[in-house]
Structure 1
């Protein structure tokens, strides 16, 4: 199936990148410029910004509560952006859609970004937010309203990397509270040798995210001390995946990262972990953030909700 024509048209309209080194501030500003006004986003019962007093320090979050019920399952969401961009605002519409579709509270984490904050600052924030919710989320005073049952970690792209790493950290620490992990087109292997996965070659150019851009974009993270050989940086390198939480892994047909996500799903299943891998045909990297409004891709939120609410395939 060909790349979706709307996606292809958008990609063709993009200007070429400016010459010279990447400028994080400029890229972040461009990313924020695409955020729609609040009035044009899905309404949610309640949305509140707050700061969690965690073991890693104060971590800003945005809490999306889908209904007036006193408690819900909780999704702890980590936005994507190659570890150096993205924000609560750029993924606000994703969090709203997830809250409404799943009936879960979504806690979107505003973790510290590279290169201003060296590894493992961002990962520490994500793990500390999960840990705080596990310890305090059932307290009515917490403002979270966790029901003590469903507690999922979730993210897209580099945020999915953090979700997988947080799941591993929690397992190793004996924090057995995570019930699900949901990884949207995950970046799981920061060793970008193009021979490692066929999709790095097959989807190298013309699909938005290009293989040649992976190293320079992720260099802000790697150069801050994130060693690609470290399983907390490249979760696919973890020696044993046994006993990790059940996973839903969503991949895109035209994504250079497609094959590593699908391999991770097979590795989880081989380790005895229930794992559903769902490839969206005609989709490119980032489709949940940028193109989930297209009818062909809207099902991703319903599929996520089905998985979180007990559905397995």
Structure 2
């Protein structure tokens, strides 16, 4: 199907990108200016800002409690933003929607960003907060069951990398991984996946923009050949947590996400790949107000509630 008309309308209204080098400070300020006022946000039982004390230092987290209960499953959420954008505030609405739909207590991770924090700072923060959550289950009222991780775009990169590192280190508590239109191959050779050419221009995220947007991360020491940077390059995917991978029809990154799902299944991992027709990269964060795209939260809830 064609690009959803509401998405097309928004994209047509956007100004042409400014020329010259990307300025993280300016771009972050522009993102923060779009954050909805507190009174307009989805209401939950409780939302609390805390600091997770981890092996790599203190990491800010925001905890979303959907309802009053004696115990909860936990969902750790890593926001997107090409490793240099995004924050607890810019993706607050995503975390709230995940909590509302799943009924899980959501812990959104305010990990360190490039270029100020060199690789692997952000990845370490995400991994260590997952360990922190498991170690502090009593205070978090964790029910000892679901300990899921989810992320969008570059947050999806961190999901795959955290799941792999946890497996390698013998930390087997992660029950599920959810990747929304993930970036899994930071090589960016345009001939690696057909979607890099098919969706190269006109859909928001453009293939030509992948290198400059990810340059802050790669220039900070992240090697695209490293499977913790490009998780699709990991040779052995067996033993990883079951996965839900949600992709967008009009996304340059579509095919690498779908190929990753195929490789997980080939390795014996339960993996569901779900492509959203008419959607573009970022639709969960940017266009979930469109009913057919809000279904991504319901699909996530269904996946997380399924028995093994």
Residue in 1 that maps onto 2:56: 56
Unmatched segments (≥5 aa) in structure 1: none
Once the two structures are TM-superposed, the CA of residue 311 in structure 1 deviates from its matched residue by: 6.3
Match of 1:95? 95
What are the Cα deviations for residues 158-187 of structure 1, in whole angstroms up to 9, with x where unaligned?
A: 000001100000000000000000000000
Match of 1:247 in 2: 243
4+ residue segments displaced more than 3 Å: none
Mean Cα displacement is larger for which, 33-42 or 188-197? 33-42
Partner of 2:266: 270
> Distance in 1 between the 2:162 and 2:293 partners?
27
Which TM-score applies when normalising by structure 2? 0.99
List per-residue Cα deviations over 1:109-133 (Å, max 9, x = no partner).
0000000000000000000000111
Q: SS of 1:115's equivalent?
A: coil
Q: 2:285 aligns with which of 260, 279, 289?
A: 289
Aligned partner (choices 133, 141, 155) of residue 145 of structure 1? 141
Deviation at 1:70, TM superposition (A): 2.0
Could you tell me how far apart the structure 1 residues matched to 2:152 and 2:193 are?
19
Task: Indicate the residue corresponding to 2:132 in structure 1.
Answer: 132
Q: For residue 211 of structure 2, what is the aligned residue in structure 1?
A: 215
Alignment-derived partner of residue 260 in structure 1? 256
Q: Tell me the number of residue pairs that the alignment of Structure 1 and Structure 2 aligns.
A: 308
Residue 162 (str. 1) matches residue 166 (str. 2): no
Give the structure 2 partner of residue 14 of structure 1.
14
Partner of 2:112: 112
How far the C-alpha of 1:89 sits from its partner, in A, is 0.6
Alignment root-mean-square deviation, CA: 0.8
**1:236 & 1:311 partners in 2: Cα distance?**
27
Name structure 2 gaps, 5 residues minimum: none
2:76 & 2:19 partners in 1: Cα distance? 37
**What is the CA distance between 1:295 and its match in structure 2?**
1.3
SS of 2:95's equivalent in the other structure is helix
C-alpha separation between the residues in 2 aligned to 1:70 and 1:208? 43
Alignment partner, residue 76 of structure 1: 76
The aligned residue for residue 26 of structure 2 is: 26
SS at match of 1:278: strand
